[in-house]
Amino acid sequence: MTTAAILTAAGSGSRLGHALPKALVPVLGEPVVVHAARRLLAARPGGAPLAALVVSAPADHVDAFRALLGPDVVVVPGGPTRQASVAASLAALPDDGIDVVLVHDAARPFAPADLIERVAAAVRAGHDAVVPGLAVTDTIKRVGAGDDGWPVEATVARGELRAVQTPQGFARATLERAHAAAEQDAGDESVAASDDAGLVERLGLPVWVVPGDERAAKITTPRDLAVAVLLATDTKDL
Ligand SMILES: Nc1ccn([C@@H]2O[C@H](COP(=O)(O)OP(=O)(O)OP(=O)(O)O)[C@@H](O)[C@H]2O)c(=O)n1
Ligand SMILES: C[C@](O)(CO)[C@H](O)COP(=O)(O)O
């Protein structure tokens, strides 16, 4: 089997509040997207390097991304939602016998190689959709909508919950089918899927969870950027 990866990096990073798009924000002197791409390219899913890497960029930064990532990485303009950006990258994926696709967020730039390889291995073992997940450590409450607060409706059994990360791995045909079936939602953030496995779930197909890794934490807020500096140091040799 042959594995390729899609790296989503076209978001603006509004919650981060930086002057640059989030993927171009430096961590220890290098842009987030460079850290993320380097770790994907260093992984050996199935014992071989990725056959291709397609990165989505903000439309007005495509040339800057190409200069940063070099000629072996395909850069495409992203769309208005994460789902649309993945769909654009999927359309640009070469044929080349690629039958396993990893979808990863540049916003999780320090995912270690063993996590990447674990997800790909589960797809190669026969699971057509695989996500890495971490057990939830807080008590989780489901709340209603009140005028001046949020009344608790239930305490959710947290043993059943997983906080899901990327990379997520798919049989290519399953990922293409899932995106094609949800194409009408891709332009609207209020209905677009927040992850690719969610699109597979909408088809009624199974999604398999493998252990996640705290080092694959997502940079969303300014605090996360401070933590990212620690993760960059922690994973610099991975
Ligand atoms: N239209 C979009 C929106 C998001 N993403 C990517 O999807 C990942 C997860 O998105 P998120 O963390 O929400 O990034 P932003 O959309 O940039 O952040 P925010 O919601 O704070 O604006 C990121 O790697 C981001 O670049 C993308 O490729 N295209
Ligand atoms: C795909 C993802 O990283 C899995 O946890 C997450 O859903 C992205 O969410 P965001 O709101 O677009 O950051």
Is a pLDDT exceeding 70 seen at residue 235? Answer: no
Question: What is the total count of domains within the chain?
Answer: 1
Position 89 in a domain: yes
**Residues 71-93: tens digit of each pLDDT:** 999 999 999 999 999 999 999 99
Position 146 in a domain: no
Position 14 in a domain: yes
Question: How many percent of the chain have pLDDT more than 90?
Answer: 94
Ligand 1 site residues, Cβ closer than 6 angstroms: 8-16, 22-23, 56, 78-82, 85, 105-107, 218, 220
Position 157 in a domain: no
Position 201 in a domain: yes
CB 126 within 8 A of CB 231: no
Ligand 1 probe mutation, 22, 83, 165, most atoms within 8 A of CB:
22
**Residues 129-188: tens digit of each pLDDT:** 999 999 999 999 999 987 888 999 999 999 999 999 999 999 999 999 999 999 999 999
CATH number of the domain that residue 126 is part of: 3.90.550.10
Measured CA to CA, the distance from residue 123 to residue 237 in angstroms comes to 26
* Residue 96 banded pLDDT, cuts 50, 70, 90: confident
Position 10 in a domain: yes
If you average pLDDT over every residue of the chain, what do you get?
96
pLDDT of residue 148: 86
**Which ligand is the nearest neighbour of the Cα of 224?**
1
Position 45 in a domain: yes
Nearest atom (ligand 2) to Cα of 108 = 3
pLDDT of residue 4: 98
CB atoms within 10 A of CB 169: 32
**Which ligand is the nearest neighbour of the Cα of 36?**
1
Taking CA atoms only, the protein residue closest to ligand 2 atom 11 is: 194
Strands 208-211 and 129-135: parallel
Is a pLDDT exceeding 80 seen at residue 236? Answer: no
**Residues 53-68: tens digit of each pLDDT:** 999 999 999 999 999 9
208-236: average pLDDT: 92
Measured CA to CA, the distance from residue 119 to residue 168 in angstroms comes to 7
Position 200 in a domain: yes
**Which ligand is the nearest neighbour of the Cα of 187?**
1
**Model pTM?**
0.97
Residues with Cβ within 8 Å of residue 158, at least 6 apart in sequence: 135, 136, 138, 139, 140
213-218: average pLDDT: 97
- The range of the structural domain enclosing residue 212 comes to 3-133+163-235
